[in-house]
Structure formats: structure tokens, C-alpha cells
């Protein structure tokens, strides 16, 4: 049987190809979410493809801990400290800079409007947890994106579902959207939480492309072959 891609799939493949396979550089990737363990392949693949790899959300805590920084009660996969150090070393070898938060919003409870404070990441109280990146981290990311031409985003950089710990993700999203609208940036985002975070920030329509592919988007970012795409390539050729 002949094989064809629908318009949505065509747009998806073109956007993803422009973002990582033949991108305008410098390229930055934002990878957030809760756990490093679910995104090991993603981090390894991206470190070979991008110039700047921004790690946020709970994942960043594991990387901070791997550098000898105590993160209090924060979500942190301490058993993956060696893995995190290996990822950093591999990225450096590939000429990719890993960017971690330098300050954070911390609270003693994981709930909306919990009393919180902004502290440097190496000053997190033992009884507190990191729930968002801080304003200095936001400023650094904004400055980084001004000097990029392409941004790929998978995963929020904080607990965006809880106010006020949505501020970091929202601020970064608005900067990427603004630069995209000014024609200075190609921005591609995907993943359920990412789409929800961009919608929450009110910028969903302002990115170059937002993937609806869910798990397939993540697999593509990991460099895996997608059966549907392989079938199309064989049919084409």
C-alpha cells in the first residue's frame, strides 16, 4: 500500500527537522520535569546536538546534588549522582554547556501559596524544598535565549501547577515567545506538561511549533526511530 503523511504529521516532521537535524545555531534545549531517570536517553542525545542544555524542575536538583550541593527536602535522585556527573562530562566533551539554576524559590510544603523564600541554590534550608527557579536564574536564561537562534523545550522548570511556583516557567516561556514573535528564534516545544505550562503562561500560540505527539515527540528527541516515519521513508524511497 502507498504511504502518506497527513498535514499535521508533515508540519510536525518539518518543525522537528528544523529544530535539531538542520538547526540555526546556537541551539538551546530546555529539559525539565521531575526525574532524571525518565530522561537519561534524552539528555545523552541532546548533549550531542545542542550548544546549551538547560536542566530545570526536579531533575536539576539531582545535578546540583551531584556537584556537592545540599538540596534539603527537594525531590532528588541521590542514587543517580554518578550518572549526572557522567552526563555533564559527556556534554563538555561534545562542546555542550549544561546550565543549572543558581537561585531557587523554596518552601517547607508542596502546596499552592505555601510560605516561601528565594535563596541561592547552595543555601537551601535542610527543612525546605526547591519548587521553582529564582529571579536570577530567570534573568540568566533570558540572556541566554537572546543569543540563541533555536530553542527546543520539553518539561517545565518548576512546579508550574502551584502558584507562585509557576513564575519561573511562565517568565521563561514569555521570553521565548517574545523572541519567536520578533523573528529572532525558532521555538519548538512538546510533552503534556510543557503544553500545559505554555497554555498557563498564555503563549501556546506564540511558539513556532508545539507538538501534539506526546511520547513520540520525546522518542524523537531521544534520537529513536519512529515506525511511522520509517514507513514513510521506505515508501518515498
Over the Cα atoms of the chain, what is R_g?
A: 18
Residues 95-110, mean pLDDT to the nearest whole number: 98
Query: Could you give the 3-state DSSP secondary structure of residue 38?
Result: helix
In this model, does residue 227 exceed pLDDT 60? Answer: no
pLDDT band at 7 (very low <50, low <70, confident <90, very high): confident
In-domain check, residue 197: yes
Sheet with 97-99: strands ordered across: 97-99, 52-55, 27-31, 150-154, 186-189, 209-210
In-domain check, residue 131: yes
pLDDT, one tens digit per residue, over 117-174 is 999 999 999 999 999 999 999 999 999 999 999 999 999 999 999 999 999 999 999 9
pLDDT of 140 reads 98
pLDDT band at 43 (very low <50, low <70, confident <90, very high): very high
CB 131 within 8 A of CB 167: no
pLDDT band at 40 (very low <50, low <70, confident <90, very high): confident
pLDDT of 13 reads 73
How confident is the prediction for the chain on average, in pLDDT? 90
In-domain check, residue 78: yes
Between these two residues, 221 and 55, which has the higher pLDDT value? 55
In-domain check, residue 154: yes
pLDDT band at 231 (very low <50, low <70, confident <90, very high): low
Residues 30-43, mean pLDDT to the nearest whole number: 90
For 115, other C-beta atoms within 10 Å of its C-beta total: 7
pLDDT band at 229 (very low <50, low <70, confident <90, very high): low
In-domain check, residue 138: yes
In-domain check, residue 2: no
Q: Is the dihedral of CA 14, 211, 176, 19 positive or negative?
A: negative
Proportion of the chain above pLDDT 70, given as a percent? 86
In-domain check, residue 221: yes
Between these two residues, 165 and 227, which has the higher pLDDT value? 165
Domains contained in the chain, number:
1
Domain residues for the domain of 124 are 7-236
* pTM to 2 decimal places: 0.89
Q: Could you tell me the CATH number of the domain that includes residue 148?
A: 3.40.50.1260
In-domain check, residue 1: no
Amino acid at each position: 500500500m502507498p504511504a502518506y503523511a497527513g498535514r499535521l504529521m508533515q508540519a510536525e516532521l518539518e518543525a522537528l527537522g528544523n529544530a535539531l537535524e538542520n538547526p540555526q545555531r546556537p541551539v538551546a534545549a530546555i529539559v525539565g520535569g521531575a526525574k532524571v531517570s525518565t530522561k537519561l536517553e534524552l539528555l545523552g542525545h541532546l548533549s550531542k546536538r545542542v550548544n546549551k542544555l538547560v536542566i530545570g524542575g526536579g531533575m536539576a536538583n539531582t545535578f546540583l546534588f551531584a556537584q556537592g550541593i545540599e538540596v534539603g527536602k527537594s525531590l532528588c535522585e541521590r542514587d543517580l549522582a554518578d550518572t549526572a556527573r557522567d552526563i555533564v562530562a559527556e556534554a563538555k566533551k561534545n562542546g555542550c554547556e549544561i546550565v543549572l539554576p543558581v537561585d531557587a524559590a523554596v518552601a517547607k510544603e508542596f502546596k499552592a501559596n505555601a510560605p516561601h523564600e528565594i535563596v541561592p541554590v547552595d543555601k537551601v534550608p535542610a527543612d525546605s524544598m526547591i519548587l521553582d527557579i529564582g529571579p536570577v536564574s530567570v534573568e540568566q536564561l533570558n540572556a541566554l535565549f537572546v543569543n540563541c537562534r533555536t530553542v527546543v523545550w520539553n518539561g517545565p522548570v518548576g512546579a508550574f501547577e502551584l502558584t507562585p511556583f509557576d513564575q519561573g516557567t511562565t517568565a521563561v516561556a514569555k521570553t521565548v515567545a517574545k523572541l519567536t514573535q520578533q523573528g529572532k528564534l525558532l521555538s519548538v516545544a512538546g510533552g503534556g506538561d510543557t503544553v500545559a505550562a505554555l497554555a498557563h503562561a498564555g503563549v501556546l500560540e506564540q511558539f513556532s511549533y508545539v507538538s501534539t505527539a506526546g511520547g513520540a515527540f520525546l522518542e524523537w528527541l531521544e534520537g529513536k526511530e519512529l515506525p511511522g516515519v520509517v514507513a514513510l521513508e521506505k515508501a518515498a524511497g
